[in-house]
Structures are given as structure tokens and as C-alpha cells.
Amino acid sequence: MNKPLQFYSTNLKAGTLSFHEALLQGQAPDKGLYMPVSIPLIPIEAIREFRQMEYPEIAYHVTKPWLAGEIPDKDLKAIINDSYDYEIPLEQVFERKYVMRLDRGPTASFKDFAARMMGRLMQYYLKAENRRLLILTATSGDTGSAVANAFYGLDDIDIVVLFPRDEVTDRQRKQMTTLGKNVKVLALDAKFDDCQALVKRAFADPELASFHLSSANSINIGRLVPQIVYYFYAYAKLSRPGEQIIFSVPSGNFGDMMGGVLAMKMGLPVRKFIIATNENDEFPNYLFSGTYEKLEPSRNCISSAMNVGHPSNLARLLALYGGVMDEKGIIHHASDIEQMRKELWAVSITDEETRRTIKEAWNTWKLLLEPHGSVGWAGLLRYLQEHEKQLAGDQLCVSLETAHPAKFPEEIQKITGINPPLPKSLQGIDAKPEYLDDIKNNYADFKTWLKSKFKL
């Protein structure tokens, strides 16, 4: 096997380490985020061969160079086959404009892609080292359920999920609270950013070091690598030889979009990434003006999983363009904004436009979107409109749908009159008992709770 790929911290004050070490650690000790020292390349001829492959085989070829020397091929294949056993529809909307539905996993969210592979990889390495981990994760909706579901019942991992009580739907909450076993859930009277802040503080707390805390949020590099794969998949299945693709990504913490940008840096022929946010418009403003201003607090929108003021992966994105941003959001070194503008385009979509887009997509094309996917689709339509003259009519474009419409039944019914049928994974959940604790938005209370539940 080859020498393992090395990962450095975006704060530049920690040593480099391999994928599996970065995976188990989560955040770097200097509070930075791990990024690869160099990005593995996949030649275009190899990408062309993906056309004949099923998803798990593509996933194997795309993730293998990231894990080189760290896992035998047959074990990686087994983990991937076990993670991806559901369909990934590419729905044609008009001409060569598609929606990729990433919502067919066990929690009906795109986060299943990352959580399932990450959980299995973590379990694999922990078993080999005879260790345990306690995963802390803050969620604005779907991370918690995807991670809880992916890690539920694993032998060597305990999970604590913190979520903002009023910002998730009943169904999203029940997907986390009805599990039990090694999954503990905490409701906070706070915002997502507050939950995230408690988690980050716990990671940095020396008194908790013997818990072996780690993160399953998209600050963990193990979340990003599996999210590179579906960009290759869409391109392989839809492209004509030699052409470039445009992706639109509904974005909150920018983990999904980072997967895409890494795919491009690995050699995927991408013409543009459209980064579509809801009213949390920190990044669109930055890309447009070149002046960075942190957005605090976050704004509440109907695409609740994207109610993020300051995206936690922004430090990674800036690092890819030569910048340095610390964990507080302070820029120590500017990134190449011109290059960023060549590759990325960003837009903020209001709730009003999100709702209108759901309605028009249904009426015009019988395309059923939920609020997050609607932000992505609205972003794509806006881009096409503003760049009509530069783009050929047959430009290939793919917008990502990140959750199943049945997770937002009230909103969808109000707008379209349709009651989206529940996917199998969500059936029966409404009647199950819930297990959860309440705590105040206060670090001392959080720490006391942790110590009462787990032995140091």
C-alpha cells in the first residue's frame, strides 16, 4: 500500500496526520479543520469509465486515494457496499437540467451518504485499536438524525446529539429521539450556532480529554470525503464527452459544497458551482463584495437545516484558495477571490422565493421540491437567467435535492396541495416513544450532564 495522504490543520498550528487519525480526532488541537496537503487526481479517462459503474464502485475509486495505505481494498469495498444500498435518482426537469435526489437513504437526507460511510470507517479503526469514542454533534436538523441512525447500535461509539428545540420539525426530532441505546439526545432553548459553540468548547476542554471526544459534524474530514462521490456519479451518468457541468448546491455549513469543490480539484470537469444559501447570506455578500463580514446571529428560514450564520467549512474553502481563516472567523491571510469568482457563484434566496419556487416547480414541471432543494433549484434558475447569453441551451446542470419532501409535510401541502407520501424509512416513526433531555444553553450545565451520563 502507498504512503498515507497527509492532512494539515487550517489554523496551521498543528502537525500533519493521516486520514484515519484525522477521522477519529474530528477537530484539530489548534481548533482548525483538517485539509489534505495535496489533492489526489483522477485522470479524465478514468472518470469516463465511471459511466459503466454502479454507485458503490464509483465510490470505491473516488475515496480510495484519500485512504491510501490505511485500509485494505477488500475492507474498503465491504464498508462502501454496506453504506450504499439505496437509489440515487437523477430526475430530468427540462432540457439537460436535472435534480439529483440524495434523499433515499435511511433518514431521507443527503447526510446519510457521509454519515453511513464515516460511522463504519470509525468503527473499523476503533475495533482495530481496541478503543471507544464519544461523538458530540450539534445539529440544525438532519445531521443529528443521519449520524444517530448511522451510528446506532455500533459497539465502540456513543453519540450525543444537541439540537435547537424550536428549529427542527417534529419528524426530524423523532428520527433522533426514537432510537435510544447508544444515542443520547439533548434539546436546547437556543440556536444551532449556540449548540455548535457548546460542542466546540467541550472539544477544547482538557477536563474532558479522557472521554475521547470526537465530532461527526462536517468539521470532520470523514464527512467530506464521501460527499465527493455523488458529484462524480452525476457527471459520469449525464455528461457527453469533453463537456463541463454546472452544479447548484443548497448550502448551510458548506460541507456538501466542499465535497463538490474537492471533486473539481480532483479533476472533475466543472464549469461552475452555484452556492445557494437561504437568507443567511454571509458568503454571497463576501464573494460579491470581497469584504468579509461575519453574520451573527443566524436567520431563521424554512430551509431550517441551512440556518447557519457563519458556515463552519468556510475556513476550508478559503484554504483551498490560499487564505487562512481561524475558528473565530477572523481572516489572517486573504484568499484569491478572483479565482474563487471564476469557479463559484453564490446567491441568497429568500423564504418567499423558496416557497414560490416550490409552487412553480410543481405547477410547471411536476417537480416536487422541499425547502432546501428549492433554494438550490431557485439558485440555478437565477444563474441561468443572469447568464443566458454566455450559456449554450444544452448546458448540463444538476441541482441537488438534499431532503425528502415528506420531511416537511405541512409546508409542502400548504404550497402545492400535495401530501408527499412517506418513504419507507419514515413510516411508523410518529407513534414511537421519544428519549431526550433538556438543558439550558450553558456550558457548565452541559458539562455536568455529560459527566452524569458517561464515566471518565
Ligand X SMILES: *Cc1c(COP(=O)(O)O)cnc(C)c1O
Residue written as cell 422541499? 370
Which one-letter DSSP state was computed for residue 225? G
**CA 241, CA 229: separation in Å to the nearest integer?**
19
| Among residues 251, 335, 348, 395, the one that binds ligand X under rule CB under 6 A | 251
What is the size of the binding site for ligand X (CB under 6 A)?
19
Q: How far is the CB of 143 from ligand X (least distance, A)?
A: 6
Nearer to ligand X among residue 154 and residue 306 (C-beta): 306
Q: Does 19 bind ligand X (CB under 6 A)?
A: no
| Among residues 33, 108, 208, 305, the one that binds ligand X under rule CB under 6 A | 305
Kindly list the distances between the CA atom of residue 124 and the CA atoms of 24, 70, 215, in Å, as whole numbers in the listed order. Answer: 11, 11, 16
| Among residues 337, 403, 406, 450, the one that binds ligand X under rule CB under 6 A | 403
Q: Does 402 bind ligand X (CB under 6 A)?
A: yes
Q: How far is the CB of 250 from ligand X (least distance, A)?
A: 5
Nearer to ligand X among residue 192 and residue 203 (C-beta): 192
**CA 167, CA 35: separation in Å to the nearest integer?**
30
Q: Does 256 bind ligand X (CB under 6 A)?
A: yes
Q: Does 224 bind ligand X (CB under 6 A)?
A: no
**CA 233, CA 121: separation in Å to the nearest integer?**
21
Q: In this structure, how many other beta carbons lie within 10 angstroms of the beta carbon of residue 209?
A: 11
Nearer to ligand X among residue 83 and residue 218 (C-beta): 218
Nearer to ligand X among residue 217 and residue 239 (C-beta): 217
x/- track of binding to ligand X for residues 334-373 (CB under 6 A): --------------------------------------x-
Nearer to ligand X among residue 109 and residue 123 (C-beta): 109
**CA 137, CA 144: separation in Å to the nearest integer?**
7
| Among residues 32, 252, 260, 379, the one that binds ligand X under rule CB under 6 A | 252
Q: Does 377 bind ligand X (CB under 6 A)?
A: no
Q: Does 306 bind ligand X (CB under 6 A)?
A: yes
Q: What ranges make up the beta strands (E) of 38-195?
A: 90-94, 97-101, 133-138, 157-164, 183-188
**CA 141, CA 371: separation in Å to the nearest integer?**
13
**Half-sphere CA count of 373, side-chain side, radius 13 A:** 30
DSSP 327-364: TTS-EEE---HHHHHHHEEEEE--HHHHHHHHHHHHHH
Distance from the Cα of residue 131 to its chain's centroid: 26
Q: Which of residues 200-219 bind ligand X (CB under 6 A)?
A: 218
Is residue 331 helix, strand or coil?
strand
Q: For the stretch 218-240, what's the b/e string if a residue is b when 16 or more beta carbons lie within 10 angstroms of its beta carbon?
A: bbbbbbbbbbbbbbbbbbbbbbe
Using CB under 6 A, which of the segments 18-26, 123-131, 252-260, 291-299 binds ligand X? Answer: 252-260
Q: Which of residues 34-63 bind ligand X (CB under 6 A)?
A: none
Q: Does 220 bind ligand X (CB under 6 A)?
A: no
Q: How far is the CB of 246 from ligand X (least distance, A)?
A: 18
∠ CA 63-35-256, nearest 5°, is 65
Q: How far is the CB of 105 from ligand X (least distance, A)?
A: 11
Using CB under 6 A, which of the segments 1-9, 249-257, 320-328, 329-337 binds ligand X? Answer: 249-257
Q: How far is the CB of 132 from ligand X (least distance, A)?
A: 27
Q: How far is the CB of 89 from ligand X (least distance, A)?
A: 16
Residue 61: phi and psi, rounded to 5, are -70, -35
| Among residues 32, 250, 260, 379, the one that binds ligand X under rule CB under 6 A | 250
Q: Does 254 bind ligand X (CB under 6 A)?
A: yes
Rounded to a whole number of angstroms, the CA Rg of the chain reads: 21
Nearer to ligand X among residue 47 and residue 249 (C-beta): 249
**Among the listed residues 107, 118, 113, the one whose alpha carbon sits nearest the alpha carbon of residue 214:** 118
Is residue 1 helix, strand or coil?
coil
Which one-letter DSSP state was computed for residue 403? B
| Among residues 11, 214, 248, 253, the one that binds ligand X under rule CB under 6 A | 253
Residue 187: phi and psi, rounded to 5, are -100, 135
x/- track of binding to ligand X for residues 105-144 (CB under 6 A): ----x-x-----------------------------xxx-
- Residue of minimal Cβ distance to ligand X: 142
Q: Does 177 bind ligand X (CB under 6 A)?
A: no
∠ CA 260-138-427, nearest 5°, is 80
Q: How far is the CB of 275 from ligand X (least distance, A)?
A: 9
C-alpha cell at position 210: 479522557
User: Distance between the two ends of the chain, CA-based, in angstroms?
Assistant: 37
Nearer to ligand X among residue 71 and residue 340 (C-beta): 340
Is residue 313 helix, strand or coil?
coil
Nearer to ligand X among residue 138 and residue 381 (C-beta): 138
C-alpha cell at position 306: 441551512
**Footprint on this chain of ligand X (rule: CB under 6 A):** 109, 111, 141-143, 218, 250-257, 305-306, 372, 402-403
